[in-house]
Structure 1
Amino acid sequence: MDPDAAATPDGRGASAAPPPDGGGASATSDRDPAPAHRFVPLWESPEPSRRGRPARVTRGEIVDAAVAIADADGLDAVSMRSVARALDVGTMTLYSHVPGRVELVDAMVDRAYADFTLPDPDLAWRPALEQYARSSWTMLRSHPWLLDLNSWRYPLAPHVFDAEEAGYRILIDTGLSPTQVVETIAVINSTVVGFARSAAAEDADQRADGTDYQAYWEGTTAFWEHTFDPSRYPSITRLWTTGVFESAATPFELRIGSLLDTVALLIERAQAEGGTDIPAFDVCMERLEGDGEAPS
């Protein structure tokens, strides 16, 4: 997918709640005081070709290079200078396409979300929600630097909206209330982020000490045999004797079956109580336009 090929707003603009999946540190400390203007370039079409000497680099190439640096060395390694060096151009060349690092990181997030595989809209809610979660997991494993950003302040970018829209679409007509739809997607997002953080931390430890996950736990046998006190931890002991920890997920697995079972119970209960009929899109737009509150 072309990272510059942004979905076009419908003429009324776009508005959405912040991604409800928690977040880490802020992307930068020098935030643009007018974020609405900052995000406009993310919705623009690819740069038209100019007459005369062709541009040495394109905005898409700059963003791709920045993402590659972050994927390999982390977000802190991304600077206008490091990106220019990777592209073998002068640093000032980049400023013709990207105003600065803040805007570059915005574009990087949108580019990462271009890799988010949207669930098949024809799937039933459960396989669709699992596909949504696994798409998020795959994206975060491919671009772990996303975990360093504050997802409550993700850029208002087309591919970010595409993923958010896909999540809500899965549940919006299941009978859940609007609050339940938003909170359920928030829990799914938070769960995936938690698994992805664990995987990223395990990756870092393995790089640091050269010991993989299995070898680490095999090295703790003496502790379990001579130090661990079953009587102090009876619940752990009872579960241990069932063998459940032998089959428990590793940091590199995403297991959400039990969570989906809980969502199924919510939907069943909502439908048994008559469900919530969330107004159709056309009805919502008529109301907004009638109230003079349509986005512009």
Structure 2
Amino acid sequence: MLVWERPEPPDRPVPAPLSRERIVRAAIGLADADGLEAVSLRKVAAALDVGPMRLYGYLATKEELLDLMVDAVYAEIRPAGDGWREVLRSVAESTRRAVHRHEWLADLIGGRPQLGPHALARGEAVLAALDGVDVDIVMPVVTAVDAYVIGTVRREIAERRAERASGMDKRQWQVSFGPYLERTFATGRYPALATVVRDAVHLDADETFRTGLGFLLDGIGAGIAD
């Protein structure tokens, strides 16, 4: 029986009340502060001031804990708007915001089963917004949006981590590596790349995300209309 279906043990007020919700909140707090490497059943139990064995009445493995953590964050992803385009946009943007709030989610999203109640509710709302679209293309549409969002946020989080590791922000990185790129472009071997780097408008991360998402939704709209 999956963790979603398995009943919790009766609550015991002594030595400390416990529930899956409290366990998951504690685990998310640890992960938000110090990353997934800070999450273990022992560390979660310590944060709750209970013995590790008490947790096994509520979940069987760390993998189940990770599944519960991911589904808890899905509660923050709320589809909104009228029509499929607004709903898909809202899901994409709220998913990105959730990953930026919970950086560890970038390591799990797309790789965990979306079977929890919050993930299923999110999926139901998205599919309901696509009612009337050819049923054979509904899942490719949803998958395309998910792939765009997951790929983007993983890159953004990777860049954020690289900045922390190097001690350089984007501006400092540009100052450090700019001379190398200028020497490389001066060889003439990369004319297209040089043109884009030198002449194109450089959008910030939010603008880049919204622009790319707009192109994707435009393409979906064209495909649905055909």
Q: TM-score range by the shorter chain?
A: 0.7 to 0.9
Residue 45 of structure 2 is matched in structure 1 by: 84
Is 1:98–2:53 an aligned residue pair?
no
The whole-number CA distance in structure 1 between the counterparts of 2:56 and 2:167 is: 41
TM-score, with structure 1 as normaliser: 0.67
Residue 136 of structure 2 is matched in structure 1 by: 179
Larger radius of gyration: 1
TM-score, with structure 2 as normaliser: 0.85
Map Cα deviations across residues 20-76 of structure 1 (whole Å, 9 max, x no partner).
xxxxxxxxxxxxxxxxx123437x6x87766x7585322211110011112222223
Give the stretch that moved more between structures: 143-152 or 156-165.
143-152
Q: Residues 131-142 of structure 1 correspond to what in structure 2 (within 5 A)?
A: 131-142=90-101
Give the stretch that moved more between structures: 228-237 or 179-188.
228-237
Q: Which has the higher helix share?
A: 2
Is the contact between residue 129 and residue 167 of structure 1 (CA under 8 Å) also seen in structure 2?
A: yes
Candidates 89, 102, 105, aligned match of 1:146:
105
Q: What SS class does the counterpart of residue 185 from structure 2 fall into?
A: coil
Ranked by relative contact order (alpha carbons within 8 Å, sequence separation 6 or more), the top structure is: 1
Supply the AA of the counterpart residue of 1:101. Answer: K
Is 1:198–2:155 an aligned residue pair?
yes
Supply the AA of the counterpart residue of 1:115. Answer: E
CA positional deviation for 1:258:
1.2
Candidates 161, 181, 187, aligned match of 2:120:
161
Is the contact between residue 133 and residue 188 of structure 1 (CA under 8 Å) also seen in structure 2?
A: yes
Supply the AA of the counterpart residue of 1:39. Answer: V
| Unaligned runs of at least 5 residues, structure 1 | 1-36, 270-296
CA positional deviation for 1:79:
0.9
Is 1:115–2:76 an aligned residue pair?
yes
Q: Residues 1-296 of structure 1 correspond to what in structure 2 (within 5 A)?
A: 37-41=1-5, 53=14, 55-120=16-81, 123-149=82-108, 151=110, 153-173=112-132, 175=133, 177-229=134-186, 231-240=188-197, 243-244=199-200, 246-250=201-205, 254-255=209-210, 256-269=213-226
The whole-number CA distance in structure 2 between the counterparts of 1:239 and 1:202 is: 20
Structure 1 segments (4+ residues) deviating >4 Å: 46-50, 52-55
The whole-number CA distance in structure 1 between the counterparts of 2:207 and 2:156 is: 5
Is the contact between residue 65 and residue 83 of structure 1 (CA under 8 Å) also seen in structure 2?
A: yes
The whole-number CA distance in structure 1 between the counterparts of 2:182 and 2:67 is: 51
The whole-number CA distance in structure 2 between the counterparts of 1:61 and 1:223 is: 51
Aligned identity (percent) is 34
Q: What SS class does the counterpart of residue 220 from structure 1 fall into?
A: helix
Aligned CA distance change for structure 1 residues 211 and 240 (closer, same or farther; 3 Å): closer
Aligned CA distance change for structure 1 residues 169 and 217 (closer, same or farther; 3 Å): farther
Supply the AA of the counterpart residue of 1:74. Answer: G
Supply the AA of the counterpart residue of 1:209. Answer: S
Is the contact between residue 137 and residue 254 of structure 1 (CA under 8 Å) also seen in structure 2?
A: no
The whole-number CA distance in structure 2 between the counterparts of 1:86 and 1:253 is: 39
Is the contact between residue 198 and residue 251 of structure 1 (CA under 8 Å) also seen in structure 2?
A: no
| Unaligned runs of at least 5 residues, structure 2 | none
RMSD over equivalenced CA pairs, Å: 2.7
